[in-house]
Amino acid sequence: MTEDRNELHQEQKKSGFAALVGRPNVGKSTLMNHLIGQKIAITSEKPQTTRDRIQTVYTDERGQIIFLDTPGIHKAKNKLGEYMVNVAERTLEEVDVVLWLVEPTTFIGAGERHIAEQLAASRLPVILVINKVDTLKNHDEILPFIDAYRKICDFADILPVSALKGNNTDVLLQLIFQYLPYGPMYYDEDVVTDQPMRQIAAELIREKALRMLDEEIPHGIAVTIEKMTERENGIIDIDATIICEKKTHKGIIIGKNGQMLKKIASAARQELEREMETKVNLQVWVKIRKEWRDSEILMKNYGYDPNHP
Protein backbone atom coordinates (compact mmCIF):
# COMPACT_ATOMS: atom_id res chain seq x y z
CA MET A 1 0.00 0.00 0.00
CA THR A 2 2.86 2.34 0.89
CA GLU A 3 4.53 1.64 -2.48
CA ASP A 4 1.27 2.46 -4.30
CA ARG A 5 1.02 5.73 -2.42
CA ASN A 6 4.63 6.64 -3.23
CA GLU A 7 4.08 5.86 -6.92
CA LEU A 8 0.93 7.99 -6.91
CA HIS A 9 2.86 10.90 -5.39
CA GLN A 10 5.57 10.54 -8.00
CA GLU A 11 2.96 10.95 -10.72
CA GLN A 12 1.24 13.84 -8.97
CA LYS A 13 2.59 17.32 -8.60
CA LYS A 14 2.63 19.62 -5.62
CA SER A 15 0.58 22.79 -5.60
CA GLY A 16 -0.31 25.30 -2.94
CA PHE A 17 -0.06 28.78 -1.53
CA ALA A 18 2.94 30.55 0.01
CA ALA A 19 2.57 33.91 1.77
CA LEU A 20 5.38 36.45 1.97
CA VAL A 21 5.08 38.41 5.20
CA GLY A 22 7.31 40.83 7.04
CA ARG A 23 7.82 44.41 8.08
CA PRO A 24 7.70 47.09 5.36
CA ASN A 25 10.73 47.40 3.09
CA VAL A 26 12.36 44.02 3.81
CA GLY A 27 12.32 43.02 0.14
CA LYS A 28 9.17 40.90 -0.23
CA SER A 29 8.24 42.27 -3.66
CA THR A 30 11.83 42.06 -4.93
CA LEU A 31 12.03 38.41 -3.84
CA MET A 32 8.69 37.51 -5.42
CA ASN A 33 9.59 39.20 -8.71
CA HIS A 34 12.88 37.27 -8.76
CA LEU A 35 11.29 33.91 -7.96
CA ILE A 36 8.75 34.10 -10.77
CA GLY A 37 11.22 35.70 -13.17
CA GLN A 38 9.04 38.68 -14.04
CA LYS A 39 8.24 42.05 -12.51
CA ILE A 40 4.71 42.06 -11.12
CA ALA A 41 5.00 43.79 -7.74
CA ILE A 42 6.36 47.31 -7.62
CA THR A 43 9.52 47.93 -5.62
CA SER A 44 10.81 51.02 -3.88
CA GLU A 45 13.20 51.98 -1.12
CA LYS A 46 10.28 53.68 0.61
CA PRO A 47 8.35 51.49 3.09
CA GLN A 48 4.75 50.33 2.65
CA THR A 49 5.06 50.17 -1.14
CA THR A 50 2.72 47.19 -1.55
CA ARG A 51 -0.83 48.11 -0.52
CA ASP A 52 -2.80 45.12 -1.67
CA ARG A 53 -2.30 41.39 -1.86
CA ILE A 54 -0.57 40.45 -5.11
CA GLN A 55 -0.93 36.89 -6.35
CA THR A 56 1.70 35.42 -8.65
CA VAL A 57 2.34 31.92 -9.94
CA TYR A 58 5.52 29.86 -10.25
CA THR A 59 5.26 26.59 -12.21
CA ASP A 60 7.91 23.97 -13.03
CA GLU A 61 8.16 20.18 -13.29
CA ARG A 62 7.71 19.84 -9.50
CA GLY A 63 4.35 21.60 -9.45
CA GLN A 64 2.98 25.07 -8.77
CA ILE A 65 3.50 27.69 -6.07
CA ILE A 66 1.03 30.55 -5.80
CA PHE A 67 2.82 33.39 -4.03
CA LEU A 68 0.83 35.94 -2.06
CA ASP A 69 2.90 39.09 -1.55
CA THR A 70 1.30 40.98 1.32
CA PRO A 71 1.61 44.59 2.47
CA GLY A 72 4.12 45.01 5.28
CA ILE A 73 2.67 44.45 8.74
CA HIS A 74 3.01 47.77 10.56
CA LYS A 75 1.22 50.08 13.02
CA ALA A 76 -1.67 51.58 11.07
CA LYS A 77 -2.10 55.38 11.07
CA ASN A 78 -5.26 55.62 8.94
CA LYS A 79 -7.97 53.50 7.32
CA LEU A 80 -5.68 52.65 4.41
CA GLY A 81 -3.07 51.44 6.89
CA GLU A 82 -5.67 49.32 8.69
CA TYR A 83 -6.73 47.85 5.35
CA MET A 84 -3.14 46.92 4.51
CA VAL A 85 -2.55 45.20 7.85
CA ASN A 86 -5.87 43.31 7.58
CA VAL A 87 -4.91 42.08 4.10
CA ALA A 88 -1.59 40.77 5.41
CA GLU A 89 -3.05 39.07 8.49
CA ARG A 90 -6.04 37.50 6.72
CA THR A 91 -3.76 36.01 4.08
CA LEU A 92 -2.40 33.67 6.77
CA GLU A 93 -5.80 31.93 6.85
CA GLU A 94 -5.49 30.87 3.19
CA VAL A 95 -1.96 29.48 2.72
CA ASP A 96 0.06 26.29 3.20
CA VAL A 97 3.42 27.81 4.11
CA VAL A 98 4.71 31.21 5.21
CA LEU A 99 7.93 32.94 4.20
CA TRP A 100 8.81 35.47 6.89
CA LEU A 101 11.30 37.94 5.45
CA VAL A 102 13.61 39.80 7.83
CA GLU A 103 16.79 41.81 7.46
CA PRO A 104 20.12 40.64 8.95
CA THR A 105 19.94 42.16 12.43
CA THR A 106 19.95 40.95 16.03
CA PHE A 107 17.53 43.70 17.09
CA ILE A 108 14.02 42.29 17.25
CA GLY A 109 11.51 45.05 17.84
CA ALA A 110 7.82 45.16 18.69
CA GLY A 111 6.86 44.83 15.01
CA GLU A 112 8.77 41.56 14.59
CA ARG A 113 7.39 40.19 17.88
CA HIS A 114 3.86 40.98 16.71
CA ILE A 115 4.49 39.05 13.48
CA ALA A 116 5.93 36.13 15.49
CA GLU A 117 2.74 36.00 17.59
CA GLN A 118 0.57 36.01 14.46
CA LEU A 119 2.59 33.19 12.92
CA ALA A 120 2.57 31.09 16.10
CA ALA A 121 -1.23 31.39 16.25
CA SER A 122 -1.52 30.31 12.58
CA ARG A 123 0.18 26.91 13.26
CA LEU A 124 1.56 27.01 9.70
CA PRO A 125 5.08 25.91 8.72
CA VAL A 126 7.18 29.08 8.69
CA ILE A 127 10.40 29.50 6.74
CA LEU A 128 12.51 32.37 8.10
CA VAL A 129 14.10 34.08 5.11
CA ILE A 130 16.95 36.36 6.14
CA ASN A 131 17.20 38.70 3.15
CA LYS A 132 19.89 41.16 2.05
CA VAL A 133 22.80 38.85 3.01
CA ASP A 134 24.72 40.43 0.13
CA THR A 135 25.28 43.35 2.54
CA LEU A 136 27.34 41.11 4.88
CA LYS A 137 31.13 40.84 4.62
CA ASN A 138 31.31 37.09 5.34
CA HIS A 139 28.97 34.10 5.89
CA ASP A 140 29.71 33.76 9.62
CA GLU A 141 28.06 37.12 10.31
CA ILE A 142 24.66 35.47 9.73
CA LEU A 143 24.91 33.18 12.80
CA PRO A 144 23.99 35.75 15.50
CA PHE A 145 20.91 36.80 13.47
CA ILE A 146 19.74 33.20 13.21
CA ASP A 147 20.19 32.69 16.95
CA ALA A 148 18.27 35.88 17.77
CA TYR A 149 15.23 34.91 15.69
CA ARG A 150 15.27 31.26 16.73
CA LYS A 151 14.36 32.37 20.25
CA ILE A 152 11.06 34.02 19.28
CA CYS A 153 9.52 31.51 16.86
CA ASP A 154 9.60 27.79 16.06
CA PHE A 155 10.71 27.78 12.41
CA ALA A 156 10.33 24.91 9.98
CA ASP A 157 13.48 26.15 8.21
CA ILE A 158 15.83 29.13 8.21
CA LEU A 159 17.50 30.31 5.01
CA PRO A 160 19.72 33.33 4.23
CA VAL A 161 19.08 34.78 0.76
CA SER A 162 19.70 37.82 -1.39
CA ALA A 163 16.55 38.72 -3.33
CA LEU A 164 18.55 41.36 -5.20
CA LYS A 165 21.38 39.04 -6.29
CA GLY A 166 19.36 35.81 -6.45
CA ASN A 167 21.51 34.00 -3.87
CA ASN A 168 19.85 30.81 -2.52
CA THR A 169 16.54 31.49 -4.25
CA ASP A 170 16.64 28.07 -5.95
CA VAL A 171 17.09 26.46 -2.50
CA LEU A 172 14.13 28.49 -1.24
CA LEU A 173 11.90 27.15 -4.02
CA GLN A 174 12.90 23.60 -3.09
CA LEU A 175 12.04 24.25 0.57
CA ILE A 176 8.63 25.68 -0.33
CA PHE A 177 7.75 22.63 -2.42
CA GLN A 178 8.58 20.40 0.58
CA TYR A 179 5.76 21.98 2.58
CA LEU A 180 3.10 22.03 -0.16
CA PRO A 181 0.47 19.31 -0.49
CA TYR A 182 0.05 17.11 -3.58
CA GLY A 183 -2.78 18.33 -5.75
CA PRO A 184 -3.97 19.75 -9.07
CA MET A 185 -2.57 22.87 -10.70
CA TYR A 186 -4.63 25.99 -9.96
CA TYR A 187 -3.47 27.89 -13.06
CA ASP A 188 -2.25 27.10 -16.58
CA GLU A 189 1.53 26.76 -16.66
CA ASP A 190 2.06 30.00 -18.63
CA VAL A 191 0.15 32.16 -16.09
CA VAL A 192 2.35 34.34 -13.87
CA THR A 193 -0.25 36.52 -12.13
CA ASP A 194 -3.97 36.95 -11.59
CA GLN A 195 -3.55 40.73 -11.59
CA PRO A 196 -5.50 42.45 -14.39
CA MET A 197 -3.32 44.55 -16.70
CA ARG A 198 -5.12 47.73 -15.63
CA GLN A 199 -4.02 47.10 -12.04
CA ILE A 200 -0.44 46.35 -13.06
CA ALA A 201 -0.38 49.57 -15.11
CA ALA A 202 -1.67 51.62 -12.17
CA GLU A 203 0.93 50.09 -9.86
CA LEU A 204 3.79 50.74 -12.29
CA ILE A 205 2.82 54.41 -12.53
CA ARG A 206 2.63 54.57 -8.71
CA GLU A 207 6.08 53.00 -8.49
CA LYS A 208 7.63 55.69 -10.68
CA ALA A 209 5.96 58.39 -8.58
CA LEU A 210 7.22 56.72 -5.38
CA ARG A 211 10.77 56.73 -6.66
CA MET A 212 10.81 60.31 -7.90
CA LEU A 213 8.80 62.26 -5.33
CA ASP A 214 9.69 63.77 -1.95
CA GLU A 215 9.43 61.65 1.19
CA GLU A 216 6.14 63.02 2.54
CA ILE A 217 4.11 62.65 -0.64
CA PRO A 218 4.15 58.99 -1.82
CA HIS A 219 2.00 57.55 0.95
CA GLY A 220 -0.74 60.01 0.07
CA ILE A 221 -1.09 59.03 -3.59
CA ALA A 222 -3.17 56.51 -5.48
CA VAL A 223 -3.33 55.84 -9.21
CA THR A 224 -6.46 55.03 -11.18
CA ILE A 225 -6.72 53.93 -14.82
CA GLU A 226 -9.60 55.81 -16.43
CA LYS A 227 -9.23 54.19 -19.87
CA MET A 228 -7.22 51.40 -21.45
CA THR A 229 -7.95 50.61 -25.11
CA GLU A 230 -6.06 48.93 -27.92
CA ARG A 231 -6.01 50.32 -31.45
CA GLU A 232 -6.11 48.17 -34.60
CA ASN A 233 -2.36 48.69 -35.07
CA GLY A 234 -1.65 47.31 -31.55
CA ILE A 235 -0.87 50.63 -29.83
CA ILE A 236 -2.42 50.79 -26.34
CA ASP A 237 -3.91 54.09 -25.12
CA ILE A 238 -3.93 54.55 -21.35
CA ASP A 239 -5.45 57.48 -19.46
CA ALA A 240 -4.36 57.54 -15.80
CA THR A 241 -4.91 59.83 -12.82
CA ILE A 242 -2.60 60.32 -9.86
CA ILE A 243 -4.68 61.11 -6.77
CA CYS A 244 -3.07 63.20 -4.02
CA GLU A 245 -4.34 64.76 -0.79
CA LYS A 246 -3.08 68.36 -0.86
CA LYS A 247 -2.77 71.26 -3.30
CA THR A 248 0.92 71.61 -2.43
CA HIS A 249 1.42 67.91 -3.26
CA LYS A 250 -0.26 68.39 -6.62
CA GLY A 251 2.20 71.18 -7.42
CA ILE A 252 5.18 68.98 -6.52
CA ILE A 253 3.87 66.03 -8.55
CA ILE A 254 3.37 68.23 -11.61
CA GLY A 255 6.63 70.12 -11.03
CA LYS A 256 7.94 73.27 -12.64
CA ASN A 257 6.51 73.54 -16.17
CA GLY A 258 5.10 70.04 -15.75
CA GLN A 259 8.59 68.48 -15.74
CA MET A 260 8.10 66.06 -12.80
CA LEU A 261 4.85 64.67 -14.19
CA LYS A 262 6.52 64.23 -17.59
CA LYS A 263 9.39 62.32 -15.94
CA ILE A 264 6.98 60.03 -14.05
CA ALA A 265 4.86 59.40 -17.15
CA SER A 266 7.86 58.81 -19.41
CA ALA A 267 9.45 56.26 -17.05
CA ALA A 268 6.10 54.51 -16.58
CA ARG A 269 5.42 54.42 -20.33
CA GLN A 270 8.81 52.84 -21.07
CA GLU A 271 8.26 50.09 -18.51
CA LEU A 272 4.68 49.49 -19.66
CA GLU A 273 5.94 49.07 -23.22
CA ARG A 274 8.44 46.46 -22.03
CA GLU A 275 5.76 44.61 -20.05
CA MET A 276 3.12 44.76 -22.79
CA GLU A 277 5.58 44.34 -25.68
CA THR A 278 3.89 47.06 -27.71
CA LYS A 279 3.78 50.85 -28.07
CA VAL A 280 1.90 52.68 -25.31
CA ASN A 281 0.36 56.15 -25.46
CA LEU A 282 0.14 57.20 -21.79
CA GLN A 283 -1.63 60.34 -20.58
CA VAL A 284 -1.41 61.18 -16.86
CA TRP A 285 -3.37 63.80 -14.88
CA VAL A 286 -3.28 64.81 -11.20
CA LYS A 287 -6.33 65.32 -8.95
CA ILE A 288 -6.74 66.31 -5.30
CA ARG A 289 -8.95 64.24 -2.98
CA LYS A 290 -8.43 65.47 0.59
CA GLU A 291 -7.80 62.76 3.20
CA TRP A 292 -8.82 59.97 0.83
CA ARG A 293 -6.88 57.44 2.95
CA ASP A 294 -9.45 57.91 5.72
CA SER A 295 -12.49 57.75 3.42
CA GLU A 296 -13.94 54.28 2.93
CA ILE A 297 -15.83 55.45 -0.17
CA LEU A 298 -12.74 56.92 -1.86
CA MET A 299 -10.56 53.97 -0.81
CA LYS A 300 -13.05 51.64 -2.44
CA ASN A 301 -13.08 53.80 -5.59
CA TYR A 302 -9.30 53.49 -5.80
CA GLY A 303 -9.29 49.71 -5.40
CA TYR A 304 -8.84 49.30 -1.64
CA ASP A 305 -12.14 47.94 -0.30
CA PRO A 306 -12.02 48.04 3.55
CA ASN A 307 -14.83 45.46 3.71
CA HIS A 308 -12.94 42.93 1.56
CA PRO A 309 -9.26 43.00 2.52
Report, in angstroms and rounded to the nearest whole number, the Rg of the chain calculated over CA atoms: 21
Amino acid at 41: A
* Residue 56 near residue 69, CB atoms below 8 Å: yes
Q: In angstroms, what CA-CA distances link 47 with 9, 114, 144, 233?
A: 42, 18, 25, 40
Say which DSSP state 73 is in: P
Question: Which residues, 6+ apart, have CB-to-CB distance to 105 below 8 Å?
Answer: 145, 148
pLDDT at residue 125 greater than cutoff 90: yes
Model pLDDT for residues 162-200, shown as the tens digit of each residue: 988 888 999 999 999 999 999 888 887 877 776 677 777
* Residue 120 near residue 149, CB atoms below 8 Å: no
**d(Cα 75, Cα 71) in Å, to the nearest integer?**
12
pLDDT score for 180: 95
Amino acid at 175: L
Model pLDDT for residues 236-286, shown as the tens digit of each residue: 899 999 988 888 889 888 999 999 999 999 999 998 888 777 899 999 999
- Three-state DSSP at 247 gives helix
- In a 10 Å sphere around its CB, with 0-12 CB exposed, 13-18 middle and 19+ buried, how is residue 148 labelled? middle
| Residue predicted with more confidence, 99 or 297 | 99
pLDDT at residue 42 greater than cutoff 70: no
pLDDT score for 52: 47
CB crowding 90-123: b at 16 or more within 10 Å, else e:
ebbeebbbbbbbbbbeeebeeebebbbebbeebe
pLDDT score for 47: 39
Model pLDDT for residues 58-91, shown as the tens digit of each residue: 889 999 998 887 665 545 555 655 666 666 667 6
Longest CA–CA span in the chain (Å) reads: 76
